[in-house]
Amino acid sequence: MTLALEHLQKIKESEGLAESIRQDGLDESARIVNAAREHAAVLINKANFEAEKNYDEAMAKANEEAAEDYEKIIHSAKWECDILSESAEKHHEEAVKMIVEKVMGEWRS
């Protein structure tokens, strides 16, 4: 009977050891999952930061390019207006003469 009791005792010890190993495995897997989640959160935060930084840089560059394009367009339009104004001034006197002649010609008729 003692041999049977010793056997039962060893079986209980083995079961206890197996339960301890199983619990250690569960604890370790939970630790690994938590560490992976923390690492993923860090990576997500870093990616969000980089995305915002890239967005800000792209917007700044786009605004700068838009301002340059705006200045070019304004400069070009001013140049065209100046040319048209000069042309109009050159023909102003001639246009006034033509209108006066037309009006006076019709009035004399």
Say what the pLDDT of residue 109 is: 55
Number of domains in the chain: 1
pLDDT in tens, 3-44: 788 888 999 999 999 999 999 999 999 999 999 999 999 999
* Distance, CA of 11 to CA of 69 (rounded, Å): 85
pTM above 0.75?
no
Determine the structural domain holding residue 19 and report its residue range. 1-109
pLDDT in tens, 61-83: 999 999 999 999 999 999 999 99
Neighbours of 47 (CB within 10 A): 10
